[in-house]
Amino acid sequence: MKNKHRYKRQVTLPEIQTKGQEKLNNASVLCIGAGGLGCPALLYLAAAGIGRIGIVDFDTVDETNLQRQIIFTTNNIGQNKAIAAQNHLTALNPGIKIEAYAEELTNKNAINLFNKYDIIIDGTDNFAAKFLINDAAVKTGKPFIYGSILGFDGQLSVFATAGGPCYRCLFPEAPKTHIPNCAEAGVIGAVAGIVGTTQAMEAIKLIVGHESFRPLSGKLWTIDMHTMQNRILTLPQNPNCPVCTGTKEEITLHYSSQICAYIPEITPENAKNTTAAVIIDVREIEEWQTGNIKNAQHIALSKLMQGHAPDLPRDCEIILYCQRGIRSKQAAQILKEQGYENIKNMTGGY
């Protein structure tokens, strides 16, 4: 084993020893998303000497990420996350291989990417991505370590192990209602840190495989960080699960453009000063009537959700706003799906 000295503290553990460290050095892990969960997971996996680590992220580092995405520094703002993380992790541990994929995970590339690694870490924050990860993980037979945070709540499980349940055993389909993500609901960095770090721990347990380890396969670990009350729930395989009941060949990858596209933000100040833009108020009619931004048009989010396709100019910028900037973000996703490219969300709302 090369660089034995670096891993001295963990090799000392009877559960790891040289044998366990060799397993870590020979293992590969693919992390989907270098965000609040991915950053701490990646740091601990690289530091522990996982031989090959892949990072998939098409997004760029934004200043609001730095509060929790601890791989990045202020100097990384504007850089692609996968590449910035690769540089940082290589500096942390030059003895391992870090592979950056500056692209979005889709049903086109998921199988190929998953086939190259032993374990998948889910560092995403939306249902569509988690379904895609799940279905590709089941199809390729790779365990995936699921993590999720909302407010002060964290959840973690290991899905798609041989004989264990998958994510769809728990959630067969995406909920119809809109579930806010971190950008909308808010998050403390340390909450993401605890869940992401625990995901790294589960990966290490799966790789080393000591008899005393009980990875969270078939279990859902939940923690409320208001009180640190935590529970481990048993998750049986669902006999009606759409993925687990099919033979592997019949599984079709669920992918929809619901995977949240990146929506750039614009401040109310800058929105007021743009001349070549269409401004749209997506609040409901009663809210619109109580006051609105001068020159704005009204198209309620509820109409867009019912399938209304407005005829807007495609050659100029479209700025969306609502009361607080949450509904307008959802509307922006819908318009993106309708093929509008140049969309901005007004920060903070009306």
Indicate the DSSP class of residue 339.
Answer: T
Instruction: Let me know the angle formed at the C-alpha of 324 by 318 and 329, rounded to the nearest 5 degrees.
Output: 45
- The three-state secondary structure class of 229 is strand
Q: Which is nearer to Zn ion, 219 or 303 (CB)?
A: 219
Asked if 144 and 119 touch (Cβ cutoff 8 Å), the reply is: yes
- Min dist CB 46 to Zn ion, Å, is 31
Neighbour count for residue 185 (Cβ, 10 Å): 13
φ, ψ of residue 265 to 5 degrees: the values are: -105, 155
- The three-state secondary structure class of 163 is coil
The only residue of 23, 130, 168, 329 in contact with Zn ion, by rule CB under 5 A: 168
Indicate the DSSP class of residue 80.
Answer: B
User: Which range in 34-42, 71-79, 164-172, 174-182 contacts Zn ion by CB under 5 A?
Assistant: 164-172
Query: How many binding residues for Zn ion (CB under 5 A)?
Result: 6
User: Which range in 14-22, 160-168, 251-259, 285-293 contacts Zn ion by CB under 5 A?
Assistant: 160-168
By CB under 5 A, residue 166 contacts Zn ion? yes
Q: Which of 182, 241, 260, 316 is catalytic?
A: 182
By CB under 5 A, residue 277 contacts Zn ion? no
Q: Which is nearer to Zn ion, 14 or 163 (CB)?
A: 163
By CB under 5 A, residue 244 contacts Zn ion? yes
Reading the block at residue 170, the tokens are: 């728990």
The only residue of 243, 266, 279, 280 in contact with Zn ion, by rule CB under 5 A: 243
Give dist(CA 310, CA 258) in Å, integer.
19
Neighbour count for residue 85 (Cβ, 10 Å): 28
Neighbour count for residue 167 (Cβ, 10 Å): 24
Q: Which is nearer to Zn ion, 111 or 305 (CB)?
A: 111
By CB under 5 A, residue 241 contacts Zn ion? yes
Give dist(CA 148, CA 121) in Å, integer.
11
Establish whether 182 is a catalytic residue. yes
- Min dist CB 232 to Zn ion, Å, is 19
CA distances from 289 to 142, 285, 292 (A): 53, 6, 7
Give dist(CA 174, CA 278) in Å, integer.
32
Q: Which is nearer to Zn ion, 241 or 312 (CB)?
A: 241
Establish whether 322 is a catalytic residue. yes
User: Which range in 72-80, 233-241, 291-299, 306-314 contacts Zn ion by CB under 5 A?
Assistant: 233-241
- Min dist CB 243 to Zn ion, Å, is 5
By CB under 5 A, residue 169 contacts Zn ion? yes
Where does this chain bind Zn ion (CB under 5 A)? 166, 168-169, 241, 243-244
Catalytic positions are: 182, 322
